Structure 1
Amino acid sequence: MVNETVQALTIAGTDSGGGAGVMADIKTMQERHVFSAAVVVAVTAQNTIGVQDFMAMPKKMIDEQFASIADDLKIRACKTGMLADVPTVEAVVKNLKKYDLGPLTVDPVMIAKGGARLLSEDAISTVREKLLPLADILTPNLPEAEELAGMKINDHDQMIQAAKKLQSMGVKNVLIKGGHQVESKESSDFILLENGNSFWVSSPRVDTKRTHGTGDTLSSCITAELAKGSDVETAIRTGKKYVQATIANGIQVGHGHGPLNHWAKIDKEGDD
């Protein structure tokens, strides 16, 4: 009976405002009936208006957190979020190689909703070269996909091209989020699977600025579903439905880019 309960791990930074990062990941996994553990790699002073400051954790503390979790828990899937700088990325990569933490979802967090940079410029190449080859699923938004793939993305054809380019870097499955295409009435994500199959998942746009933590929530929902044993496609479709529900059934918190409603429910999981 030891460790029978499904467990997942988030490797990310905190959000003192509660809407993104580790806080959003834990809330999401809990709502999806998965126990969430966390390796905190950075601490932010943050609210719905923006990021006022942040500090990366010392490498030793990152290593100790990984060791503590691996020594006691049974992690069935994990995800990365904000990784701050080169030493942090390298520490996380080292520990992901050292411990069996199940399939890895990489959410390449680079810039916060308010515009603050959460990944240093020199760390982008480290993520590209060392972290992406470990990823089972990569979930960039359009600006992040452009940065990692080294190309502009202005339409659906270029989203497909970028996904193929990212997959060639060692990523098994790629999900490029289309939420930044604001001229569209729908938010359309492109998914390229390891087996070569691909598909689009779309949802109607909701007229709201309460979308803080959307990427964290999607990637942590996918991670929770993978931990429960779902296949990649089902996990992605469930994640998309869950995020849509958290936006559509909004809550009123803060003066800026407000957080999602993490206790939102979805009727069916993984279906079209």
Structure 2
Amino acid sequence: MHDPTGATGIAADIEAISSQACHACTIITCLSVQDSQMVSSLIPIDADIIAQSARSVLEDMPVDVIKIGLVGSDEAVQVIHDILQDYPDIPVVYEPMLVSSNGVELAEGDMIEAARELLVPLAHILTLNTVEAGMILPEADNPAAMMNGLMDMGCDHVLLSGRREAGDTVINTLYHNYRIIEEFEWPRLTREFYGAGCTLSSSLAALLALGLDDLSACREAQSYCWQSLKHASRYGMGQYQPARFYWMHEDE
């Protein structure tokens, strides 16, 4: 997805991946009309163009990890599924991006159903928040039920983010094989952000590509994301954007 503000989507992916000294090859699945306050509309890219673009890259370059974000249409979900089936040895990090940080739903019934059936089962690591998990599994009313349901669908790992405890702590949880691998506690930042999910998932994909194991990659990606949010800037009239190259400005 292309976000003209640079906070989310392809621009965020490129910055987060580049910050880990990796190279990003990008396939745009949809265009967005948005500013720092609101997503106004999404324009899906033709599924055949997505397929041709992705296959052109995959047939030309060695790809270590595939990261999937907002897809844009159920037709695009199908062609991405078909491509992943042809490259089963490439691990997939999937961030569904079903809802924006200010609550705008970015996907509806048919697309959510398609993602549930065709993309979630192929994810090596599924990264999402509790709101998105509830959209995929509307019958699940707690994190444990969400985890069990997502594991039932076939994904290997789930990194469930954003559970707020009493006080100033946010808890992210990594699940694998129907059990908690680790809970990560982070100081809660009080600003409103957009682009955190893309920052987390794309840096995670890059760290996996560099050879880190799943737990280490999840831990390092969260640390990087938290620092990016801590140093975030407000460029428009809305939410803050992560500073994905925050270390370049630490002495300013």
**TM-score interval w.r.t. the shorter chain?**
over 0.9
Match of 2:132 in 1: 144
5+ residue gaps, structure 2, are 248-252
Tell whether the 8 Å contact from 1:84 to 1:120 is kept in structure 2 after alignment.
Answer: no
- TM-score w.r.t. length of structure 2: 0.92
2:150 aligned with 1:162: no
Match of 2:217 in 1: 235
Percent of aligned pairs sharing the same letter: 23
Match of 1:21 in 2: 9
How far apart, in 1, do the equivalents of 2:138 and 2:105 lie? 18
Provide, for residues 17-38 of structure 1, a one-character-per-residue CA deviation record: whole Å limited to 9, x for no partner.
1000111011000001100011
RMSD: 1.9
Alignment coverage as a number of residue pairs:
248
Match of 1:198 in 2: 181
Match of 1:122 in 2: 110
Match of 1:98 in 2: 86
How far apart, in 2, do the equivalents of 1:62 and 1:29 lie? 21
**Aligned pairs for 1:175-254 within 5 A:** 175-179=159-163, 181=164, 184-194=167-177, 196=179, 198-209=181-192, 211-254=193-236
How far apart, in 2, do the equivalents of 1:264 and 1:194 lie? 35
5+ residue gaps, structure 1, are 1-12, 266-272
SS in structure 2 at match of 1:105: strand
**Aligned counterpart in structure 2 of residue 82 of structure 1, from 53, 70, 88:** 70
How far apart, in 2, do the equivalents of 1:133 and 1:262 lie? 30
How far apart, in 2, do the equivalents of 1:184 and 1:110 lie? 27
Tell whether the 8 Å contact from 1:138 to 1:174 is kept in structure 2 after alignment.
Answer: yes
Tell whether the 8 Å contact from 1:20 to 1:212 is kept in structure 2 after alignment.
Answer: yes
Matched AA of 1:111: V
Q: How far did 1:183 drift?
A: 5.4
Provide, for residues 163-220 of structure 1, a one-character-per-residue CA deviation record: whole Å limited to 9, x for no partner.
12211110100111125x38541110111124845210110011212x1111111010
Match of 2:59 in 1: 71
Match of 2:40 in 1: 52
**Aligned counterpart in structure 2 of residue 134 of structure 1, from 114, 122, 139:** 122
Tell whether the 8 Å contact from 1:253 to 1:259 is kept in structure 2 after alignment.
Answer: yes
2:22 aligned with 1:34: yes
SS in structure 2 at match of 1:36: coil
SS in structure 2 at match of 1:19: coil
